[in-house]
Structure 1
Amino acid sequence: MRNLRVSADRIAADIDALAAITDPGRPWTRRAFSPRFDEGRVWIADAFRRAGLSVETDASGNLIGTRAGTVPGAGTIMLGSHSDTVPDGGRFDGVAGVVVALEVARMLAERGIALRHDLAVVDFLAEEVSVFGVSCIGSRGMAGVRPVEWLTREHEGRTLEQAVRDVGGDPTTVAPRTDVRAFLELHIEQGTVLEGSGTDLGLVTAIAGIERIEVVLTGQAGHAGTTPMDRRADALVAAAGLVTDIDAEAGARASRGHFTATVGEFSIEPGAANVIPNRARLLIDARSADRAAMEDFVTWVETRAGRLPEGISGAVRLVSDNYPTRTDAGLLTRLAAAADRVGATHRPMVSGAGHDTAFMARIAPAAMVFVPSRDGRSHCAEEFTENDSIALGAEVLAETVLALDAGE
């Protein structure tokens, strides 16, 4: 292990402590707006205070620890991620980024290093898809782009507005934060690129845009035993061909740059063994860092859904449309220089997953650092990242913070 200023032992202990706060029998589950999440927030707030940070919950429900700089009005360098998890799979996803941000603040304090800028450590509220069916609630709020209509969403009799209040926020006063001069987030890769190439760190150049495209194919129901094979309008057979073509098309596009397409939802009607399906619905999750490539793919889906067997009709609907986000080139240059000084190998990468950084990039220069994931596993109990990898990423973030503060 390299000679680091950050403490790998403290990082490991913090991750272990948060992992212990989980729903009974469900490692690792600490969903936003749940009692376990609230318990985790208490632990994090206490850790912030022990590190000498002033603690607050902002209007959007984000938990923030701040270390004041020596130059009033110089602005804020912000580090962070999220502590909420998906069900059964959040030991490192998000948590590593919060803990690393905290460790950077601790290292600076114990070495007596004063910054001109304020340093803020943030645990964003509900980065994962929440019980209200929406994600990145806290970072959208900090960026001033959280839809106001979201506040009326309900889960078990509680609105999102009340849930944000319950964690200490004030959802009626959300406005974009204007003092952030730079935002950095460390995250586990959730893929196999770094591990497979033996690279220490990934420097994220873009966060993929995500399209959700619904396709409904309509045919004709009929008796499974009496309708001749050459007289059928089987919606499922037509849908099966479409799914196969979607996979092949996405594979071809992936050879030209990061691109994925997944049929993650699929249903047929009427759903009886002895009835020919007359309706098939599929939902495509498509992701790309290239907006033009994504728009072209949507056109391809519409065209392909118009080329169906006789008796089958298709309807295409864009369910959601999220643009890709480019990270800040200047910050990436600084991160690369910091990695070189620390002796960490690195490579540019595209993130196929969404992150809070995508919304912070709307109000400040923002960038991400990835650390390797074992076997690319994530959002599952087997998710694992070596602690030495996380500590190395923390050292690079610390080095970058010092360079940013000095104006280098």
Structure 2
Amino acid sequence: MNAPIPEHDPAQVDVDPYSLPLEALDVANPHLFAADRHEAWFRRLRDEAPVHYCATSVFGPYWSVTRYEDIMQVDTAHNTFSSEPAITIRDAEEDFPLPMFIAMDRPRHDEQRATVSPAVGAQALAGFEPIIRKRTIDVLESLPVGDTFNWVERVSIELTTRMLATLFDFPFEERRKLTLWSDVAVATPGMGLINSEEERRAHMLDCLLYFQGLWEERASAPEKNDFISMLAHGESTRDMPAEEYLGNLLLLIVGGNDTTRSTMSASVLCLHDNPGEFAKLSADQALIPSMVSETIRWQTPLAHMRRRAKVDTELGGQTIRAGDKVVMWYVSGNRDERMFDDPGAFRIERENVRKHIAFGFGIHRCMGNRLAELQLRILWEEILARFERVEVVGPPVRTPSVFVKGYTELPIRLVPRG
């Protein structure tokens, strides 16, 4: 029997958050993000209740931390705020736990992260650059110039899934399985992709079964520089139980896929909506790295991370009790007026552009952040070499999620140079 689907209120998107009492504000509604109506809710919390308690929500009671400095404090206070047992606002199913190193504290977190981090380290990136460039050229030159197509599907998903297949040394012809598992892992039941937690679990078990075959292959061969081989041979990971293997797989799949995919799509949308910034970029391609950082800040592809208070503590004048769920809303911190001037604007020459918190901070800072930036830089180098404009010709369709802040559709038409 299917579990009941959480009832997120779709009517909330039409509510003025300033018309509600503060205690009634619940920002953890995927409808707000799908409709791109979340920002006013977070602005009110930043101004009036930067550390805010929501007593009743689909996800249970939780604290929202919405200002930049407070988020930084939580994200780096590892002895006060724990990543266990989960890093999303949605609780894990009690009978289907998926431990993963991002949802572990020291020392297990550090040991498991160190096992796989060389796959996206500086030496690996140098080898990836020509591969990424060749694939980017292949994808861009296959696009139907002059016709309308979905950029998310044809470019963002394709490029990130190819990279993900490389990181796992996954059978290339079956790489879209990675896309499916990534999407299902973070999907909101009843809002498109899956209808229940049981359906999610069935897909996740398919994922585990497939990857168990790859584990057996890699464990019996000399270690290579791919995630599965590193996990199979790593001292701290080679004996981990199946559910922990699956948890780490999903962490690496989602982390290597959804975030970069969302930013690739957002960069096109931002530069279309800000033609003056696009003109600057076209005139001076040395601005591409800064544009990439500003896109990551503006988009914030993972809206939040969650912690659990280990002890009673005070934050922003509020008393947080041991065991309380604390949600750091990166999507709000990156729009904090106390940190960023005119934060809703897209400015590729922003002075503090690299101060964004989209990658998190502290020991859990995104392991693949440099790889994501590299992929985006190469994408725009090759776009500007070929196209006069990348025109958005219809409204984007956004992901109905409070965790992954992304897109499912972005209708595009390309105008070639010359």
Q: Which has the higher strand share?
A: 1
Structure 1 or 2, whichever has the larger Rg, is: 1
Q: Which has the higher helix share?
A: 2
TM-score > 0.5 by shorter chain: no
